[in-house]
Structure 1
């Protein structure tokens, strides 16, 4: 008995037939017509096969299936990257960020797993930065994220809308979750800004309702011709970013201090010393930073005015105190008897002074050579070469022009610069801090510089694929959360994020199809990977992350 197909007038039909001997020949006899081939009821055929197999021995059924290639014990469907997402999810849950988001989400009626969607976007920034549209393929085919087998781009945008809508609550919840768990010291906070530009989108025009967001401004990336936004971070002494801000691209550092101070005061952190670089230093900002009993440590410009006159604090006499690591410091108080007195600390680095001296000597030697090549300029009209040398940003600073129009080396300027070699000037409003603590606090500004570098080169905030203000703000929040997880992981493992990604790149999840369903199996965790998880107090993944329930016989 067998199935056969016959063709009539160009149409194929399926028939159940068996062979019968007639007249000494085997002739087919039709038992049942299944109808046209393209209209077969396949479910009915499957039921027929199962019904027939009930009368066979199990070994016979298995043998037939093997002959047909239907009983291969495992069919390999592919693999997904697991190591990076597993580690990030472990840090995310350990910091209780999942609980923080779910608390906020409990007050809203979302049906999609918003917390998982936000985590997926954060993990994407840390592991393989790309567009939100590209995340559909990334989540479904490249990585394994617990509780999120796939995403659709409209769900991601909905989650971003929630993140922006609740950004104040989110940042507060995240800060307290992280600060309490890691026992962060937030008495000293470092604040700085950076910028990111848009390579395609041009400057956004102002409207009657609001000022444009994408604006040209002072670029910290050396791209002044492109529209940008300004981004600010507050970072702890351990390098953990605990707050972020986004402003229009034409915002200057001088104009952000009031908002930063107001937002930090809203967290009721107690007494905080804010550390900022020279660009934030103004009389108004110093007054703001001292509000609510807080204090500041600020970098100071060593040269003041158009002529670059050295700061008054650098002219005051005093004895330097030598520190263990080679630095020399001295304290200078200007107007000590006045309520408006200011406290400065002059820092002298002998090694830096030697580098400054050699660099200046090279510049002066080159300027003298170029000046000699111009010849005697006394009483002569200026040529383009003369004007170019006089206005040169490097060599021109050591030149002066006489009344007769000749160019000369400015020896007084050179001697003035010699007195500034290797020096740094810092001020503070806290009279109780030791000079050593003031210097140590200011020197730790490298922590926020590191965060800014990672923003651009690790989580790749550029290129920004969004053009609307709300989307841009939400994008920055996602980058901030990615930096938060990265810095926590780096602090506790004493490894760089690139080292961790490389170590975890071999940890994958294999997906197999069986008779009972799909089986998800990881490869064995290496000793180095296990040590990494232990350092972060994360349980390594089990060998089997999904085991199907066997079907009853």
Structure 2
């Protein structure tokens, strides 16, 4: 039951407000809440305040509460302004409290405060660098800004008294301290969180993304030995610019295990060795390593088998011979686990050459891909029919053959004419809705393997939060390598706080 406000607009444009006592009931058919009016109090501007006060006191008497009327206790404040406050009370300044308070509480409970204070105490540093790092981390979750913006604009808008008196230089010094001790901090915090929340670390999801810079030239070590990370490379965000590669390992709940910042020209395959060495030093046990096809190579599989023990890797279906010949042609029914997930096991080879593949199938995605391909073929057929001269040397034909959308379904005949490649269409249909996983774990069930790889989407959600929706890792204005790495680490610390809050509240940040 509640006091309900309704509005009515008159012909002259004026608005009349009414008060009603109401409560919500669910509609028997639609099950949607519907407001049921119990009593009409009338127009707000003609309301008898004393009657409402008497009603409040009678309800309070039944509930055993005491209600005092501020107008009776202080007659001088009988004039109330439109904010609901006494007219003689003026607000000089408001500070944001809620979000920084929650972040600070999680910062301390997750172990960031203790490990950083231990480091500063051991180095006999007087500046509260732990508070500085807290301020920069909290800013990523509240109102992401540059380090200058945090110091100059943001700190004055939030209630964080422990951060008063910080200087801009302290922020850059804190980033250097973080870079120097980041391995120690990451390891301490992760195992503290794992014990605190009883995390399962039996599966580790790993992937990489890129973060670009708004500059024209990549870093040259001969020009500046402190700037070596910003390099041209394969961009995952569609921009051709100097970039860095950000690698991230997370648990099945999306909680960061560890992160890496690598030169922008580092390929996905080349990142696995460093990841293996770093995670092996943590002694995580026989955790299963899950990654996409970009990490799959003979060398990486051997590295992972030695370091992590078990792995679950996606395969490039069209470029692996035994997958094209054997796995995709394997007869037998799929086992259905979900509406959009079916799978079957395919074993190739014997003894040491034995490889276990999981062939997965999504019927909904297969239908979508088939429909999309049919639309492309129809459009392509119309384009070919509109040109009587179908020589491959014609300008329009050259453009089609260069098109990423059309070229895979075209071929050039011996006569030098362009035509639709029916064999390519048939070959493409073999891959509709399918993906192949390779694992060296014979104990994992077919369902767990299929669902385990599908859970790799959790890391994509982490990257979305890091780069676009909440933490906004970019743009980056740093150019010194250690500061770039420290900035990324601060963003990952913010991601951990965000994920813990979401898991505890079961609500998005």
Q: TM-score when scaled to structure 1?
A: 0.73
Tell whether the 8 Å contact from 1:135 to 1:151 is kept in structure 2 after alignment. no
Change (3 A) 1:139 1:111: farther
Aligned to 2:99: 84
Aligned to 1:333: 347
3-state SS in 2 of match to 1:359: helix
Q: Which has the higher contact order (CA 8 A, sep 6+)?
A: 1
Q: Distance in 2 between matches of 1:95 and 1:341?
A: 44
Q: Distance in 1 between matches of 2:323 and 2:489?
A: 42
Aligned to 2:297: 282
Cα shift at 1:150: 3.4
Q: Note the alpha carbon deviations across 1:398-445, whole angstroms, 9 max, x for none.
A: 111110011121111111222221111111111110111111110011
Cα shift at 1:325: 3.7
Change (3 A) 1:333 1:122: same
Change (3 A) 1:368 1:140: closer
- Please state if 1:462 is matched with 2:474: yes
Match for 1:261 among 276, 286, 300?
276
Tell whether the 8 Å contact from 2:179 to 2:486 is kept in structure 1 after alignment. yes
- Please state if 1:160 is matched with 2:175: yes
Tell whether the 8 Å contact from 2:219 to 2:231 is kept in structure 1 after alignment. yes
Q: Distance in 2 between matches of 1:127 and 1:381?
A: 57
Aligned to 1:31: none
Cα shift at 1:137: 2.8
3-state SS in 1 of match to 2:351: coil
Q: Note the alpha carbon deviations across 1:2-50, whole angstroms, 9 max, x for none.
A: xxxxxxxxxxxxxxxxxxxxxxxxxxxxxxxxxxxxxxxxxxxxxxxxx
Tell whether the 8 Å contact from 1:140 to 1:150 is kept in structure 2 after alignment. no
Match for 2:496 among 484, 495, 502?
484
Cα shift at 1:154: 0.3
Aligned to 2:396: 385
Aligned to 1:251: 266
Cα shift at 1:471: 0.7
Match for 1:214 among 222, 230, 237?
230
1:503-542 equivalence runs, <5 A = none
1:16-415 equivalence runs, <5 A = 76-138=91-153, 140-200=155-215, 202-207=217-222, 212-224=228-240, 226-292=241-307, 294-304=309-319, 310=324, 312-335=326-349, 337-377=350-390, 380=391, 382-415=393-426
Aligned to 1:471: 483
Tell whether the 8 Å contact from 1:374 to 1:386 is kept in structure 2 after alignment. no
Cα shift at 1:317: 2.3
Q: Distance in 2 between matches of 1:477 and 1:375?
A: 60
Tell whether the 8 Å contact from 2:392 to 2:412 is kept in structure 1 after alignment. no
3-state SS in 1 of match to 2:282: coil
- Structure 2: any 5+ residue segments left out of the alignment? 1-87
Change (3 A) 1:317 1:210: farther
Q: Note the alpha carbon deviations across 1:135-161, whole angstroms, 9 max, x for none.
A: 223354201114222321001111111
3-state SS in 2 of match to 1:331: strand
Change (3 A) 1:111 1:479: same
Aligned to 1:425: 436
Cα shift at 1:210: 7.9
Q: Distance in 1 between matches of 2:473 and 2:338?
A: 40
Q: Distance in 2 between matches of 1:431 and 1:354?
A: 32
Aligned to 1:36: none
Q: Distance in 1 between matches of 2:486 and 2:287?
A: 27
Q: Note the alpha carbon deviations across 1:322-344, whole angstroms, 9 max, x for none.
A: 22445221100110x22121110
Change (3 A) 1:325 1:197: same
Q: TM-score when scaled to structure 2?
A: 0.79
Q: Note the alpha carbon deviations across 1:340-396, whole angstroms, 9 max, x for none.
A: 21110011111111111111100110111111112243xx57211111112221111
Q: Distance in 2 between matches of 1:469 and 1:437?
A: 40
Q: Distance in 2 between matches of 1:91 and 1:138?
A: 24
- Structure 1: any 5+ residue segments left out of the alignment? 1-72, 498-553
Q: Distance in 1 between matches of 2:245 and 2:340?
A: 37
3-state SS in 2 of match to 1:234: strand
Change (3 A) 1:439 1:315: same
Change (3 A) 1:89 1:435: same
The root-mean-square deviation of aligned C-alpha atoms, in Å, is 2.1
3-state SS in 1 of match to 2:93: strand
3-state SS in 1 of match to 2:207: strand
3-state SS in 2 of match to 1:357: helix
Q: Note the alpha carbon deviations across 1:99-137, whole angstroms, 9 max, x for none.
A: 122222221111011111111000011111111112223
Cα shift at 1:260: 0.4
Q: Note the alpha carbon deviations across 1:208-244, whole angstroms, 9 max, x for none.
A: 96883210100011012x1110001001000111211
Aligned to 1:61: none
Cα shift at 1:83: 1.0
3-state SS in 2 of match to 1:323: strand
3-state SS in 1 of match to 2:343: strand
